[in-house]
Amino acid sequence: MKKKKSETLYPLIVKIVFVAALLVLWEYVAKSGLLGEHSALIFPSLETIGAAFIRNFKVGFAGSSLWIYIGNSMKLLLEGLLLGIGLAFVFSGLSIISRTFSIIYNFVVSICDLLPGVALLPVVIIIFGVKPGVIVFLVVHAVIWPMSRNILDGFLAVPQIYVEAGRNIGLKGFRLLTGVYLPAATSYIVSGLKVGWARAWRGLISAEMIFGIASCPGIGLYINQMRTNMNNAEMYATLIVIVIIGVVVQYGILSPIENNTVKKWGMTR
């Protein structure tokens, strides 16, 4: 028991010490005026950033607190993620059932996975105009291909013996998919979720920064506004918010999924 505790405690201590050292360094650079006369602007001190952090939520920009921006971003992100993940499951599942579909879909995934969402942005805007739907489209694009690639690879890696054991007890078609292929490919699906979520999150922020939608302003737009207004401390503070959201998703959603599936089943360590 004791050994186990130190195993979980040690990485935590390392991380805390590392972050503390970084903060001390940051504060030193900020206070020392190392970067010339604009030092305070480029490298705002920790307390300035802290104050900006609170100001982001209390005052915000253009009369809206950062919460509103976060809410807008999250709403679009969630819509896009659900749609993208759902479609990835449907199409990858169909690939198991139909060989022709599998050939086509593998081809499509290989091509589309290489297209950065941001590069598609101009085309999408020309066709659909500047609407929140465009962001959702980009999030779907960001998540569906890596997610599908992982699910498809996961299906290929399902040991033949599970498939035979499944067929032996009367599973075929859709039920073989849900009863054997999906659970057996869970570790691939989980890593697909991680990659998909990270790509979607980045894609969302980039899209919002490139064109802000006034009807649905998000975090990316907020950062950009802070930049144009030279509110550098707020800019840094918003970056911290983005990191916090990422960490919350990782530890609040993705890790529990992993712990309750592949880790519990001994499929990964």
Partner 1 sequence: MSDILLELKGLTKIFTDDAGTAEVLRSVDLKVPEKEFLCILGPSGCGKTTLLRCIAGFETFTGSVLIDGQPRTQPGTDRIMVFQDFNQLFPWKTVEKNIQYPLRLSGIKDKAELKRRSDEAIAKVQLTGWEHYYPYQLSGGMKQRVAIAKALALKPRIILMDEPFAALDAMTRRDLQKEMLRILGEEESTVIFITHNIQEAIFLGTRILVLQPGGEIVYDEPNTLPKPVTPASDEYGRLWGTLNAALYSRSQG
The reply on whether position 157 binds partner 1 by CB under 8 A is no
134 vs 185 by CB, closer to partner 1: 185
127 vs 161 by CB, closer to partner 1: 161
Q: How far is Cα 72 from Cα 188, in angstroms, rounded to an integer?
A: 30
123 vs 161 by CB, closer to partner 1: 161
The reply on whether position 263 binds partner 1 by CB under 8 A is no
3-state secondary structure (DSSP) of residue 44: coil
Q: Which of 161, 173, 215, 228 binds partner 1 (CB under 8 A)?
A: 161
Cα–Cα separations (whole angstroms), residue 207 to 86, 138, 179, 196, 243? 22, 8, 38, 16, 17
The distance of Cα 78 from the centroid of its chain, to the nearest Å, equals 10
The reply on whether position 171 binds partner 1 by CB under 8 A is yes
4 vs 269 by CB, closer to partner 1: 269
215 backbone dihedrals φ, ψ, rounded to 5°: -75, -15
The reply on whether position 89 binds partner 1 by CB under 8 A is no
56 vs 187 by CB, closer to partner 1: 187
Q: Minimum CB separation from partner 1 for residue 139, in Å?
A: 29
Q: Which of 35, 167, 229, 259 binds partner 1 (CB under 8 A)?
A: 167
The distance of Cα 227 from the centroid of its chain, to the nearest Å, equals 23
Which residue ranges make up the site for partner 1 (CB under 8 A)?
159, 161-162, 164-165, 167-171, 175, 179-180, 183-184, 186, 261, 264-267
